Amino acid sequence: MAIVYFVALNALGHLGFVGSRMTTALFALQLGASPFTVGTLMSLFALLPMLLSVSSGRLIDRIGPRQPLAGAFAALAIGGVLPCLFPFLGILFLSSTLLGLGFMCVHIGMNSVIGAHGAPEQRALNFSWLALGFSFSGSLGPLVAGYAIEGFGHAGAFLVLAFFPLLALGLLLARKRPLPRPDHSVSLPQNRHLLDLFRVPGLRRTFIVSGVLAMGWDLYSFLMPLYGARLGLAAATIGSIMASFALATFVVRLAMPVLIRRVRQWRVLTASMAIAGLSYLLFPFVTSVPLLMANSFALGLGLGCAQPVIMSLLYEASPPGRQGEAVGVRTTMINASSTFIPLGSGALSAAAGMRPAFWLLAACLLAGAWFARRRVR
């Protein structure tokens, strides 16, 4: 039951975050924002997490995950309530920042909890359960957001989405037992440096592949609403298309416990990036809703199988007592790409249309597949 509780906490926070991010993009467009402004808003979800992830990981290593998680769920709830109270374009810049900070701490804290829970041989399976929770909340988030927008408007949808992290906060505070955490009795050298982690070969390779995969994952949440709006699709339809992506991640992660036992982890990563790259190549040629859902589903199959493998490799390769810091480094790299690439993609889309943005992302993923294939050899 403990793993169910941990996965539920993470899923509630993630659902509110994913739904709010989609709602932010569509609300900004409805308020007359340009693609570049939408890209700026999407980058704010990652700007402060890019700068503070390592510090947050070190804090969680030092004091444990409970207090940072409580603050994170509160930040997600407040970030969702603000656009409902003040439905203006300007407030979206503040709410995006709060939502990004909140989910950063949820992501680092819950990965620390899952990695420390149970025996080492159960770690990959535990991360698979966490990834399944991500898929469920990722499927439900766009659907909840889309139908809440249809029923209550954009401002009302934010209030609906704020309920989920608030529920997670209540569940966390109701638990009296301490949360699992990595061994904090390890004495760490005083002169340790962040670059020491990049000198660990296994960690360095994992960081590189993780950054490429996360770029493909995060930019989907930016490019798909923008592409759907350009095609004239309704918010609920865009939410359904994005839900098909998340549904695919759920389906493929159901098979992960068996897949992890039978296929080498780096082969899984190679296939993941190859499938994702080919899917992004096809997007500019797809305009009908059924084909958009099918291509999104294929993209979800590709990207969905990578998350538990990445986190298991990362946790295993991290030096003792620095697991949260390593997750923080990964989060920093992810958020750096999420900060700058939406800005570049928004500017590129405004100047040259959607095709170059999709194809540039496809090229990065296919190059990552080639890098991972070399690791297999």
At 338, which CATH number? 1.20.1250.20
Compare 237 and 122 and report the one with higher pLDDT.
Answer: 237
Q: Which residue has the higher pLDDT, 226 or 323?
A: 226
Q: Give the model's pLDDT for residue 23.
A: 93
Please report which confidence band the pLDDT of residue 64 belongs to, taking 50, 70 and 90 as the band edges.
Answer: confident
> 187 pLDDT exceeds 60?
no
Domain count, the chain: 1
Q: Is residue 239 assigned to a domain?
A: yes
Among 237, 220, 225, which Cα is nearest to 296's?
220
Residue 223 located in a structural domain: yes
pLDDT of residue 171: 93
Mean pLDDT over each residue of the chain, to the nearest integer: 83
The model's pLDDT over 249-276, given as tens digits with 9 standing for 90+, comes to 888 888 877 777 777 777 888 888 899 9
Say what the pLDDT of residue 351 is: 59
Q: Kindly give, in sequence order, each residue whose CB lies less than 8 Å from that of residue 201, ignoring residues fewer than 6 positions away.
A: none
**pTM, entire model:** 0.71
Asked if the structure places residue 59 within a domain, the reply is: yes
Q: What is the pLDDT of residues 3-23, one digit of tens each?
A: 889 999 999 999 999 999 989
* pLDDT at position 69: 94
Q: Which pLDDT score is estimated for 105?
A: 92
Structural domain harbouring 246: 2-176+197-376
| pLDDT of the residue at 70 | 93
Mean pLDDT score, 63-70: 89
pLDDT (average), residues 23-44: 86
Q: 32 in a domain, yes or no?
A: yes
Residue 185 inside a domain? The answer is no
